[in-house]
Structure 1
């Protein structure tokens, strides 16, 4: 019987929250997965993280040229992942997000690669918007350097698709969450709620909206898109559910089993949009749908948090 050589995928930012989930989904689908990013781990930990090979370093032309690999798929998760960091360190954030993408695209162009590049972008490109489902055709209006960098990166990818025949899929993910994410709203809220205080205060009014997607659903969506033969497409990645910040914090409080008072200071934190709610019409045309409900995801998150956090 003839043995087929497994397809090979490169996942940049591989040890990040989304990167590891993507690696597991791709390996489940039969890919040989090469990871690129920061951090050295023992071989057994690299394997447990979903990788067949690990390369430690920045996403740069120099390092990419040393890989001596050809890829059918590249999932480019490497980037700055926080609005706050982009405000405090805009140049470093630009290098992590935009420059890394420029180097990756130049490598693919110069090697005449036909790999599909899947880019996990962000709803941050929409920025300031009305309280309605956001469509991919909406004019971007980012309110932070993070959102600006994501938008520039999208334009780089679209340009290389047009001019250099690089195959590209862009997913504007909304609020990705799940066990293991030790930053952003849910982590900060869980820490505050578990501090022993009877009243905890948060930014905003509580009526701001978000659209949550579990990390496993996000990774499975990326794995599904890997089967596409399209040259370029862009779509929202979300559950399509409008959820207020107040509602999600109350659900998290219940999942943590706490009896505390949640209040809001009515102040806007720099870089925070008021409304994020996705139109998922394009997404619904794919043979994919989210499997983890917000209630299930928050319960799992709360259990992980209680097991891993110490005061």
Structure 2
């Protein structure tokens, strides 16, 4: 299964590689294993790599620069800016025009490149009109430092306003069999405007893989320990849904993760999943989703699972950053 990314002269398998877990968020990461996973992804033909300046406080961009040394021309490199911390350890979003430019320069330096293929605003800064932030991002395109612009976790209204200033090539949103929110408003707006939807956490932060059995088994510092869907009572009910997914996967001689990704890939050629993969075995498993065939009946049966998911996809602290 192939896709052409963002109307660019660029073809790649329909899966991209989300790199956040290679630096933090989901427990300890092994840099040697991360490097091997990136190399294997390249060998398998993956070309869409997604990172952000906040991942590992810059470590993730530096890691990608190291892993892609000598291969930069072969990849479509996406990064994000916006989150900043203060002296009190509080996180906020800074979308001021001056921040746009300094953040881009820092990312270019860490990534070891002269141009970023896709540059996202990680979250909207409610204090700054989106037109001002995107205007500054558009300056980067004119300067040749960025090729395409993207927004992450924004509403349809914000997307439309931003698009009056400069074409928005992609909107990044959480989208999976267990998180269908984009279908209500932002996906229709994307299709109206010719904007791709890049689906992060397409495996429900690992929940849809069937590999998470309890919150207690998650490592200290794992981001998911504070997420409602992984709270004990919610997780028990959600795992019953995952079991149903696993049973359906058995019919396809596949894994739950492969079927969940195949369902998402069947939602349209403009849906570009970027599963997080910090281990080689997960990459190899997820690539199998490209060969899964789902019938109309299969898709319908799978879609019903989302109706019974328990718990918000984020805790209240993180929900406040989502533009709805």
Q: Calculate the TM-score normalised by the size of structure 2.
A: 0.31
Higher Rg? 1
Higher helix fraction (1 or 2): 2
